[in-house]
Amino acid sequence: MRIKEFSIRWYGPLPDTGRLTLGSFSLLFGKNEAGKTLIIDALAKLLFQHGRQLFSGINRVDGDPDGYLIIEDDNCKEIKLPEKGDLTSITGLTPEECRNIFIVRNSDLSIALESEFYKNVTDRLTGLKTQEISCIKDQLAELGKLTKAKSTASLRDWAGEKLNTRKKLGQELVGEVKILEEKLKEEDFDRLEEALLNVRERISETNSEIETLEHARKREKYEKGREAYEAVIRTQQSLHELEVYCNEDGRLWEGCERDIKNWEKEETRLQMEVNAKKAVLEQKVKALSEKKLEIEVLDDRKKRIDNEIVPETIHYEIGVGKVKREERRSRFFTAAVIASAALLLVSVLGLILNPSPLFYGLFASFLVSTGVFGALRFSLTREQSQLDAVFERIRLAACKFELGGENIEDILSNIRKFNEEYSKRNSETEKADREASLLDNEIRRLTEMDIAALEKKIGEAVRKIQELVERSGVTTLREYNEKLQLKLSCEKSSDTQRGILKSHFGSKAEKLEENLSYWHEMIEALKEFEHKATDVFYDEKVVSQLKDDLGKFLDEEQGLEKTASEFYRQLTEIERRANEILQLEDNYVYCATAVDLVGITDKLSKFINGIETDKSNALTAISIFEKLEQQEEGRISELFGEGSPVSQHFCHVTDGVYRGVNFVLDDIKEVRVTLQDGTTLAADKLSGGAYDQLYLSIRLALGEKLLKGMKGFFILDDPLVKADRERLERQLNILRRIWEAGWQIIYFTAKDEVVQLLKSDIDERRISYVALQDIFV
């Protein structure tokens, strides 16, 4: 039997797997959170329609998966699940057997409920009823009231039951009852009882008369109490209506009205101050506006002066400095021109008088020098003319701004005076602006803080008064005070009526509500006397006389009872002990006379004999079933022990390190393994790898046994996750042996080492490899 293919179209967040065909060994690899666990849960739900509760955490996704699973049996017949049933119906195995053999979830190879599971498997394979025998023994132990379900058990003496103790006490009590019966006959107990009965009748009559007078007293007490209670209730109702009125609220209202008047006066004063400051601010703002207009005009003039005149003055001053530096050269060039001209004139006269080459040479030289010196003198004269032109432009520009002068010094002096006046006016404007801003801030502070705070206080006080008006239902303080006076009057009346109630019934607590409830209960308790003894008036003297008579009768009764008290005490003690022993739920046993002793003796004898009979029958039956149980539990060894399939598989997969596996049937009931040297170890003492190998062997052997030699499949969820690389390689070789033996392996893993160790088998296609991340792309 093998899983041929499966497809999961929907299962919670799991994407569609598509149609996956499985081989004899299929390796499904996926990193954590890749959907591996959800696929295994979905396969478990497809395989099992019943018994899913055996898998913990399988319902992480609500509902059943949408998909199918095809199983191929040994005759190559295909069965589609869940359409054609489930794994239990196909194999004929129970859900527990299928869970503990075919599927390993969450890397857990252990067997669930191991001891009971092995018993059930043994019963299934051998046709025996070990579990039923155990249940029958438990029922027999319960019927016989035994300490345990064994033939060596004794009668139990559990807390709350004390059966063995009760039996012994019953046997002792039967003997004591027989002795007491003899004493009662000797003391003539019947005559003593008759005299005691007569005096008790007289006591009853006297008590009846006292009771009638007591009824009259209680009736009168009820009438007075009811009248006072109803008066208190009426005043309390009035007080409830006036409950809203209290002295604290009255004082609060009065205080709020007083505060409102004071705050309104202060608000008026502050408002007048604000108005005065606003008038001053208005004047300052007006003056500031005028100053700002003036400063804007001056600012425009200053910008134009700075742009049109100041650059020219700077240029002029630079030119003046240059001209002054050239004055000495100018004087030299003037003298040189005059000298050269004179010499030129002399050379001209000489040339006229004597035209000779000498005078021609002198004439040419003096002509050149006169021209050169004249040109240099002319250039200096031209710079002075240009400087004069710059001054004229400055003077004309300064005149436009009323800053003109006869010379450059006057003009610069006028510009300096203008700048000083501009700075003074600008400072005055800034000062006026700061003063206006400070005054405006002061007005804002008064308006937005001081006055606003007062308005807030007034509003809160008005709100408090309005709340008091809404809560009290009155509109004036005078009406409120009138309600307070009315409340005081009601409280005085209530105190008076409560005093009456306290004098009659006392008090239970400090709170009135609890006392009212208490008084009402006390009055209601007396209501039954409302119509009793209506024609009788309570008389303390009559009651006193009746009580004296009653005392005499009681003394007589006491004398008679003293004589019979020891017998009554013994009868009462026997009654108590008999009921403690018998513990009859609906049939209390009374013992007041000698006749009652006979009945008690009979009931105790039946109780003791019944216990003994049930115990004897139960022990006899349990001893018979113990023999059957011993025979059946011995059959479990057929599954384990040296030479068993489990031992053979475990020895094979561990390369002969262990030679046997046994299931020990002692009180612990555990799986133990035997090493080659004969040493035994409990399964939970093995290393993680050996533990996994052991339970894989158990699953394999049980599967072959239950499937009657046929092969099945294993769905494994990373069962070798605890193994290191070396152990992992050995254990994968074990899986190869299982696969080669005919079992199908469906191995889910998140370990890269598993893929690496099986890579050669995957490459040669001996193992079917599925990468989950690829099918979910």
In this structure, of 149-153, 466-470, 598-602, the range with the lowest mean pLDDT score is 149-153
Degrees, nearest 5: CA angle 487-491-492: 120
292: left (phi over 0), alpha (psi -120 to 50) or beta: alpha
Closest CA to 517 of 508, 506, 528, 526: 508
pLDDT band at residue 112, thresholds of 50, 70 and 90?
A: very low
Mean pLDDT of the chain: 77
> 122 pLDDT exceeds 50?
no
> 629 pLDDT exceeds 70?
no
Any domain includes 748:
yes
> 115 pLDDT exceeds 50?
no
pLDDT > 90: what percent of the chain?
1
Which pLDDT tens digit goes with each residue over 2-38?
A: 898 989 998 888 888 888 899 889 988 888 777 788 8
pLDDT band at residue 132, thresholds of 50, 70 and 90?
A: low
**H, E, C per residue of 119-175:** HHHHHHHHCCCHHHHHHHHHHHHHHCCECCCCCCCCECCCCCCCHHHHHHHHHHHHH
> 745 pLDDT exceeds 80?
yes
Please count the structural domains in the chain. 1
Any domain includes 63:
yes
> 542 pLDDT exceeds 80?
yes
Tell me what pLDDT residue 541 has: 86
The CATH code of the domain that includes 67 is: 3.40.50.300
> 170 pLDDT exceeds 60?
yes
Any domain includes 44:
yes
- Which residue type occupies 519? W
Any domain includes 325:
no
CA 485 to chain centre: 54
> 770 pLDDT exceeds 60?
yes
Query: Across residues 694-702, what is the average pLDDT?
Result: 75
Q: What share of the chain is helix, strand, coil (3-state, %, to 5)?
A: 70, 10, 20
Any domain includes 340:
no
Any domain includes 79:
yes
Angstrom distance (rounded) from CA 721 to CA 729:
12
Tell me what pLDDT residue 128 has: 39
Which pLDDT tens digit goes with each residue over 355-413?
A: 777 766 766 776 667 666 555 555 555 655 666 666 667 677 777 766 766 777 777 77
Any domain includes 335:
no
Closest CA to 209 of 549, 629, 661: 549
Tokens of 385: 């003319």
Beta strands at 680-682 and 670-675: parallel, antiparallel or unpaired: antiparallel
Which pLDDT tens digit goes with each residue over 251-296?
A: 888 888 888 899 889 888 888 988 888 888 888 888 888 888 877 7
Residues in the chain: 777
Q: How many Cβ atoms from other residues are within 10 Å of residue 81's Cβ?
A: 22
pLDDT > 70: what percent of the chain?
78
Closest CA to 88 of 122, 120, 61, 50: 50
Angstrom distance (rounded) from CA 395 to CA 404:
6
**Residue 554 DSSP SS3:** helix
- CA dihedral 214→217→218→219, nearest 10 degrees, is 120
Any domain includes 155:
no
Question: Which domain covers residue 54, as residue numbers?
Answer: 2-128+699-775
Query: Across residues 643-655, what is the average pLDDT?
Result: 78
In this structure, of 47-56, 248-257, 467-476, the range with the lowest mean pLDDT score is 47-56
